[in-house]
Structure 1
Amino acid sequence: MASLPIAADVEDSARQAPALIRYLDEGDFVTRRYVSRGVEINTGTYGDHRMMVRDGMPIRDHFRFDTHGFMLGKHHSGIADFFDKKEVDRLYLRECEEAIRALTGATCVSAGGWMIRTSADLTARAQEKVEHYRHEGGIQPPAGEAHVDYNEISGRRAAERAYAAAFPDGPGYKRYVCVSFWRTFTPGPQDWPLAVCDGRTVSDEEATSNTLFVVDAFPGGDALTAPVAGEEQMIAASIFRHRDRHRWWYFSNMMADDVLLFKFQDSDHDVTWRCPHTAFHDSSLPDTKTRSSIEVRAVAFFE
């Protein structure tokens, strides 16, 4: 995709919050992400970089899904308590499909798993014995590093699986967009809000894959990075090394009806096709509160 001009006037005048954004260090690493109940770890070596995160809330209508890779919309959910797993399972995915279709103009949408993330202390939960852990429908800490949840092969396969399962009699699709539908449901301002990076400021040059391993218990020592047959075909995210040109945004004091929609991968590379993201500690606002949020992965199809 050709580099697009950035609307400097309105964006550069936005309030800025200082942040530490964690990036993969320069160098050659075995990059993997291991997740279990209430805890996640990455291999490789990471470092925190001082960045400024612009507050997009006062100009919320400025952001365009195919220009920035993200947008902020409005959606009222019928869920009274997002910690009620049965109620979320029963209602929320269908709500999200309709909302994503309306926001994007997609022909159809298939929503997959959901995850709650909270900045509250998860130490006790993480120490519980877990068997056959599944990385969905549970509670995890906020994301810790700049990443996109799929690399290209993982996104393409996710779209193929989702369409075949949800629309077996469909005519096929010309374009797919793997997305996250994200909202916080605790009062603001949030202590660890989500930051999203303008996809136009990111290139393949600083990106690499990070293979996902969902485990009951973390391996130790050399086993963390020992060779695994077929790893290059496994589900993997994209992670990023630091570049000064990365332009980060967040939306301060989000309310429960505010929904952040951002791209994991768009098959159309003539538009902005991915959006790195991470949580950061917001020290710019007083009286911040514990952030609890729910995210849904989905694929929007254009037939």
Structure 2
Amino acid sequence: MDGVWGTVNYLAPGSVRNRLYVAPGDQRATARYEPHRVFIADGRAHRDDLTLDAAGFTLVNHRTAVRVLDNPAVLDGGYTGESLTLVRALTGADHVVSLGWIMRRTTADRGGALPPAPDVHVDLHSTEIAHRYAGVHARGPLPAPGTYRRAAWTSLWRAFSPPPQDWPLALCDYRSTDDAEDGTPNLLFRVPALPDPGEPDAPDEAAESAASLFHANPAHRWWYFPGMHQGEALLIKLHDTDHTVAWRAPHTSFRDTAAAGASPRESVELRTVAYFR
């Protein structure tokens, strides 16, 4: 099978102070990680098998009508609108709400964008956390509790730098995970400036949300889609209240040392919550 060997960062055993501080244009993690070399298979020849409800992610061809993706006003307007339509079509949901977007860049001058996330994670830790996150970030009305049978949180990821990128996304096939891998909570704090590493931690109740971090597991099967371009989008499950299907997909960025002439990664991820009646 075609693919590359890459290094992914799993949570180190015994890491208990797991927090992520996010400030404009930068972030700092307090968790301890262990690098592991893993084989990351090329998923392009296996797209029919890598579906949202089986693997927890899917790659689709989707040409955006938006030409410049690094303009916040454009991302808030036309790009969000066409993305909600795409997520609704891919999931079959009755109602989809934007939870906002995040730009990421690997360049030193990121212009307010965040760096790629270099750890194996899922952005939401539990159903309770997912609903709390939606309540904070919803860019539209949320349905009343009891009016829907299922909710699914996703991230629509798109590269807008020329392929190949230096830090592409690696995705762990849900079928190679175990639901007993509950994931260790990583508390998220949004702050105006990154705290000094020696400062006391913020209290737990001040956390906006919590992601899940994962320990190394040799059963994990990793995939990536080399050479992603602006005419493609990757939809990733962050949480799904229906656990009869793939309800999450651990993922991380990794440095692709095999990509000759790789360009600095520039990407946008739009998070949504989809509701099913």
TM-score in terms of structure 2 length: 0.91
Aligned residue type for 2:148: Y
- Larger fraction in helix: 1
Corresponding residue of 2:78: 91
Corresponding residue of 1:194: 169
1:208 aligns with 2:184: yes
Three-state SS of the structure 2 residue aligned to 1:96 is helix
Aligned residue type for 2:68: D
Corresponding residue of 1:115: 102
1:217 aligns with 2:217: no
Aligned residue type for 1:205: E
How far off is 1:44 after superposition?
Answer: 2.2
> Which residues of structure 1 form unaligned runs of 5+?
1-12, 126-137
Aligned mate of 1:70, from 53, 57, 60 = 57
Corresponding residue of 2:256: 282
Three-state SS of the structure 2 residue aligned to 1:88 is helix
Q: Quick one: distance in 2 between partners of 1:272 and 1:43?
A: 29
Do the aligned partners of residues 223 and 61 (structure 1) sit closer, same or farther apart at CA in structure 2, a change above 3 Å counting? same
Q: Quick one: distance in 2 between partners of 1:70 and 1:49?
A: 22
Q: Describe how 1:1-303 pairs up with structure 2 within 5 A.
A: 13=1, 15-122=2-109, 138-152=112-126, 153-159=128-134, 165-168=140-143, 172-203=147-178, 204-205=180-181, 207-224=183-200, 226=201, 228-230=203-205, 234-303=208-277
Structure 1 residues 27-54: Cα deviation after superposition (integer angstroms, max 9, x where no partner)? 1411100111222111121121111111
Aligned residue type for 1:101: R
How far off is 1:67 after superposition?
Answer: 0.6
Do the aligned partners of residues 230 and 115 (structure 1) sit closer, same or farther apart at CA in structure 2, a change above 3 Å counting? closer
Structure 1 residues 118-148: Cα deviation after superposition (integer angstroms, max 9, x where no partner)? 121237x5xxxxxxxxxxxx51111110111
Three-state SS of the structure 2 residue aligned to 1:157 is helix
Structure 1 residues 244-293: Cα deviation after superposition (integer angstroms, max 9, x where no partner)? 11111110001211110011000011111101111101122322112111
Aligned residue type for 2:230: A
Contact 1:68 1:198 in 2 (8 A): yes
Q: Sequence identity of aligned pairs in percent?
A: 36
Do the aligned partners of residues 175 and 169 (structure 1) sit closer, same or farther apart at CA in structure 2, a change above 3 Å counting? closer
Aligned residue type for 2:154: V
Q: Quick one: distance in 2 between partners of 1:171 and 1:214?
A: 31
RMSD: 2.2
Three-state SS of the structure 2 residue aligned to 1:102 is helix
Do the aligned partners of residues 287 and 162 (structure 1) sit closer, same or farther apart at CA in structure 2, a change above 3 Å counting? closer
Contact 2:26 2:113 in 1 (8 A): no
Do the aligned partners of residues 155 and 256 (structure 1) sit closer, same or farther apart at CA in structure 2, a change above 3 Å counting? same
Contact 1:147 1:238 in 2 (8 A): yes
How far off is 1:58 after superposition?
Answer: 2.5
> Which residues of structure 2 form unaligned runs of 5+?
none
Do the aligned partners of residues 267 and 220 (structure 1) sit closer, same or farther apart at CA in structure 2, a change above 3 Å counting? same
